[in-house]
DNA sequence: CAGGATGTTGGGTC
DNA sequence: CGACCCAACATCCT
């Protein structure tokens, strides 16, 4: 599930449940997902810290802890891969089989659930380590202005969907958000960036803004019938706007849906 | 049983 | 260097 809107929902969830609570200990039912330390190392760093206000950049969640030293407490860096999510539960509530890491707090526990272990959990002792862990990221898609997008696309080659999905180009856009945005902007996903004019880029930005606005407020990309994403659940998908049967294919090496009528190959 | 899934990385190619 | 493609990772579902 996790694209920008999902991870933003996890961030809010963390604020709602864990921020301010003191960590008593960390348990790792499956230590595989701890990427740069051991369960003991993570436990030692986090023990007796309190969760502070978390941040999100793209699809990365930064679970800050309160400052004990001038430089602040350590940060747990989380990436959810394709199947991760957070849950907050009472100590007595049975754990799910895919709860891989558990931060046992004073009043409950924060569980990191990842069915497929494509994501991970990292420990960053200092701020400069956070950037090393995430690697280079573009501007967060939710913070991207129209002029930012114009400037970025000016120096970019290749296809537009590939650009949107490149986390170094813009951070946070995944397969669903990309398809939904391009459909809303009436731009074929395989079109070259060089072939887009100012109006296209304006539409693209407006579409991205709208898709993120709605998706962030719902905590995920809406699966309602007026959205392209709904097509992924349906047998013979049709365009919610014009009822034309949708096309399905591979663009930027990902399964892609588009409307051949609304999103022509060439402008 | 094969193939695919909302993600990233590393390798090879042009 | 920029961009593309694929395989791999781990697990479940159709």
Q: pLDDT per residue over A93-122, tens digit each?
A: 999 999 999 999 999 999 999 999 999 999
Tokens, residue A159: 């296809």
Residue nearest to nucleotide C3 (CA to C1'): A158
Round and report the angstrom distance from CA (A204) to C1' (B11).
33
Work out the average pLDDT over A257-261: 97
- CA distances to A25, A28, A68, A130 from A121, rounded to whole Å, are 16, 11, 22, 12
Q: Confirm whether any atom of chain B, the nucleic acid strand, is less than 7 Å from CB of A131.
A: no
1-20 on A, CB < 7 Å from strand B? 1-3, 6
Residue A233 confidence (pLDDT) above 90 = no
Round to whole Å and give the CA distance between A214 and A200: 21
Contact positions of strand C to protein Cβ (< 7 A) = 2-7, 9-12
Residue A70 confidence (pLDDT) above 90 = no
Q: Confirm whether any atom of chain B, the nucleic acid strand, is less than 7 Å from CB of A165.
A: yes
pLDDT band (50, 70, 90) for residue A72: confident
Whole-model pTM above 0.85? yes
State the nucleotide closest to A178 in CA–C1' terms. Answer: B6
State the nucleotide closest to A83 in CA–C1' terms. Answer: B6
Residue A1 confidence (pLDDT) above 70 = yes
State the nucleotide closest to A4 in CA–C1' terms. Answer: B6
State the nucleotide closest to A160 in CA–C1' terms. Answer: C3
Work out the average pLDDT over A33-58: 96
Beta strands in A28-98 (DSSP E): 55-57, 60-64, 75-79, 84-89
pLDDT band (50, 70, 90) for residue A76: very high
User: What percentage of chain A carries pLDDT values higher than 90?
Assistant: 93
Round and report the angstrom distance from CA (A158) to C1' (C4).
9
Round and report the angstrom distance from CA (A200) to C1' (B11).
35
Asked if A172 and A140 count as a contact pair (C-beta separation under 8 A), the reply is: yes
User: What percentage of chain A carries pLDDT values higher than 70?
Assistant: 98
Listed residue (A33, A27, A9) closest to A87, CA to CA = A9
Average pLDDT taken over every residue of chain A: 95
Q: Confirm whether any atom of chain B, the nucleic acid strand, is less than 7 Å from CB of A100.
A: no
């Amino acid at each position: 599930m996790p694209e920008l809107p999902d991870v933003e929902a996890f961030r809010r969830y963390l604020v709602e449940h864990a921020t301010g609570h003191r960590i008593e200990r960390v348990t790792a039912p499956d230590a595989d997902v701890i990427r740069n330390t051991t369960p003991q190392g993570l436990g030692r760093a986090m023990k007796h810290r309190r969760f502070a206000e978390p941040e999100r950049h793209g699809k990365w969640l930064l679970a800050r802890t309160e400052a004990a030293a001038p430089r602040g407490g350590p940060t747990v860096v989380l990436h959810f891969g394709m199947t991760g999510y957070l849950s907050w539960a009472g100590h007595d509530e049975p754990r799910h089989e895919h709860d891989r890491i558990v931060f046992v707090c004073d009043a409950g526990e924060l569980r990191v659930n990842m069915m497929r272990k494509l994501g991970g959990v990292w420990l960053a002792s200092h701020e400069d380590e956070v950037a090393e862990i995430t690697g280079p990221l573009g501007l967060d898609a939710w913070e991207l202005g129209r002029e930012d997008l114009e400037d970025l696309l000016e120096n970019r080659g290749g296809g537009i969907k590939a650009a949107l999905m490149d986390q170094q180009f813009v951070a946070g856009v995944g397969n669903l958000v990309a398809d939904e945005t391009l459909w809303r902007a009436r731009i074929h996903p395989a079109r070259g960036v060089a072939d887009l004019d100012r109006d296209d880029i304006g539409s693209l930005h407006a579409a991205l803004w709208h898709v993120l606005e709605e998706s962030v407020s719902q905590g995920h990309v809406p699966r309602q019938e007026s959205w392209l994403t709904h097509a992924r659940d349906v047998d013979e998908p049709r365009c919610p706007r014009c009822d034309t049967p949708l096309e399905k294919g591979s663009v930027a090496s990902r399964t892609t849906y588009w409307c051949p009528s609304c999103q022509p190959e060439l402008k």
